[in-house]
Amino acid sequence: MQRPSENLIIPVTTDSSGKIYIREQFGYFQRLRRRLGWLLMLLFMALPWLQIDGRQALRIDVERFAIEWFGFVVLPQDFAIVALLFAIAAFALFYATKLYGRIWCGYVCPQTIWSLLFVWVERRIEGPASKSKALDAQPWRGVAGLRKLAIRLAKHSVWGLLSLATALVFVSYFVPARSLYSDFFQGNASAAVQSWVWFFALCTYLNAGLVREKMCLHMCPYARFQSSMFDRATRLVAYDSARGEARGARKKSADKPTGMGDCVDCNLCVQVCPVGIDIRHGLQYECINCGLCIDACDATMRQFGYPTGLIRYHGDHSPKGLARLSRHLGYGVALLVLLGATLLWFSHLTSTALTVSRDRQQLSRLTSDGQLENTFTLRVSNKTLAPRRYQLTLQGLAGARLLPATPSASASSSATNSTTLELKPQEDREFVITVALADCPGQAFIPFNWQLRDTTRQETVTVKASFYGGGC
């Protein structure tokens, strides 16, 4: 099977400016799309209800610029992990595109999934695509007009409810899900929350109900550059023109006419296409590799007793050996490196963050009783969803004592080089702590460690610092 031009990746485009009436199609790829769509939608709806330690497991706290992530809080200083996860998602997408073309668009893109859902509703209310088209052509007058009005009202009402439900689920990733629904429907939600819900509902209604494939065709930037990731081995939906041509209608019961190919020109591959193209014209940038035309054509082939696969996923070239391996280098290796970096990051993930800075105004202070003091500011973040008690200890600074810190840290009576700090869930707090040495150390800078131990988790964070011993 040849693609229209071996050198041209985007050979043909189709005028798809008119309204597309998508014919419903059943088959292997449609089933796969629907199941994936349901699975992802269920995941989208269920995640905000997951609870850990009595709190929402996944939530973005816009006010604190933090993400609650399954019992941890990702603070701005941890945003490297967010960047890493985005990079993994991007490279996984590029890698999948290189191997299988626009399968993201065809199978799992939210725009596709919600459009599929809205079209499903349309078919249930208006009937097959041909009836939708006829309804559009009907005037708004008389009994027919009233019937059209009732059908359209029903369709747009269901679309509106689905849009509102989608918006509420989306906003529940930002606002606690448990209170959002009751607050929203009782009118107790803040004006900001209400506005965001209605805004996202409107976006869903417009995108999935009215704009649909126009978003993919004219607005999505990813559609524009992903063909640059294709190579000759990328498996794309293609029509086998050598086998299909010359196309032409014929009777099912009759033998294939001499000189004719397998394409019976039923046009079903065009009628089911969600972006309204004719794949027989060759690869087109609009094609989202969804496989619906394959299902349609296979069904026709079976009816005529011809082998299936006239339209199929196909790569022009099947590299072997090293060439095959080299296809997986690049995106594949980058993905592995990023996954390794993420695992490494998670293996070092602690539920506490500690940063230390010294008082810049006064490096050291000599008191009237001959004691040398350095003051430090310790910023401690409890990234968990439970209150925490920490033991802060000085290590490697012989004879040093901690003077009572502010706020609410108390020097331990038994060990003067340690103190206890208490933080509320997700609290991020600064403590000003003074370190005192009774004698002049006779050294400008003495290195030591601050060690913060979470007494519940037995998790330890250590930060290096130095005591300034000059000035005495």
287 binds ligand SF4 (CB under 6 A): yes
Is residue 279 near ligand SF4 by the rule CB under 6 A? yes
**Is there a contact between 385 and 57 (Cβ–Cβ < 8 Å)?**
no
Taking CB under 6 A as the rule, does residue 273 contact ligand SF4?
A: yes
Cα–chain-centroid distance for residue 398? Answer: 51
CB atoms within 10 A of CB 209: 22
Give the strand pairing for 410-411 and 352-358: unpaired
> Which of 98, 280, 312, 383 lies at the binding interface for ligand SF4 (CB under 6 A)?
280
Q: Does 351 bind ligand SF4 (CB under 6 A)?
A: no
> Among residues 169, 175, 208, 288, which is the contact residue for ligand SF4, using CB under 6 A?
288
CA dihedral 293, 298, 303, 306 (to 10 degrees): 130
Identify whether the C-beta of residue 79 lies closer than 8 Å to the C-beta of residue 69: no
**Of 267 and 418, CB closest to ligand SF4:** 267
Binding ligand SF4 (rule: CB under 6 A), the pick from 24, 183, 265, 316 is 265
271 counts as binding ligand SF4 under rule CB under 6 A: no
User: Which residues on adjacent β-strands are paired with residue 435?
Assistant: 374, 402
Q: How far is the CB of 111 from ligand SF4 (least distance, A)?
A: 13
Terminal-to-terminal C-alpha distance of the chain: 87
Shortest approach of ligand SF4 to residue 31 CB, angstroms? Answer: 15
Q: Does 263 contact ligand SF4 by CB under 6 A?
A: yes
Only one of the segments 2-10, 285-293, 391-399, 412-420 lies at the binding site for ligand SF4 (rule: CB under 6 A); that segment is 285-293
Q: Which of 189, 216, 268, 338 binds ligand SF4 (CB under 6 A)?
A: 268
**CA atoms of 416 and 401, how far apart (whole Å):** 5
Ranges within 221-250 binding ligand SF4 (CB under 6 A) = 237, 239, 244, 247
Is residue 12 a contact point for ligand SF4 (CB under 6 A)? no
Using the minimum distance from each CB to ligand SF4, give the nearer residue, 44 or 304.
304
Q: Which residue type is seen at 184?
A: F
Residue from 283, 290, 338, 354 touching ligand SF4 (CB under 6 A): that is 290
The contact pattern for ligand SF4, residues 305-344, with x = CB under 6 A and - = no contact, is -----xx---------------------------------
Cβ density class 411-445: b for 16+ within 10 Å, e for less: beeeeebbbebebeebebbebebbbbbeeebeeee
Q: What residues are paired with 60 via a beta bridge?
A: 67
* Count of residues that interact with ligand SF4, criterion CB under 6 A: 30
Q: Is 22 in the site for ligand SF4 (CB under 6 A)?
A: no
290 vs 433 by CB, closer to ligand SF4: 290
Only segment of 68-76, 144-152, 293-301, 394-402 that touches ligand SF4 (CB under 6 A): 293-301
Q: Which range of residues in 81-89, 171-179, 284-292, 367-375 is near ligand SF4 by CB under 6 A?
A: 284-292
**x/- map, 97-126, ligand SF4, by CB under 6 A:** ------------------------------
Query: Does residue 275 belong to the site contacting ligand SF4 (CB under 6 A)?
Result: yes
Q: Site residues (CB under 6 A) for ligand SF4?
A: 237, 239, 244, 247, 263-269, 272-275, 277, 279-280, 287-293, 296-297, 300, 310-311
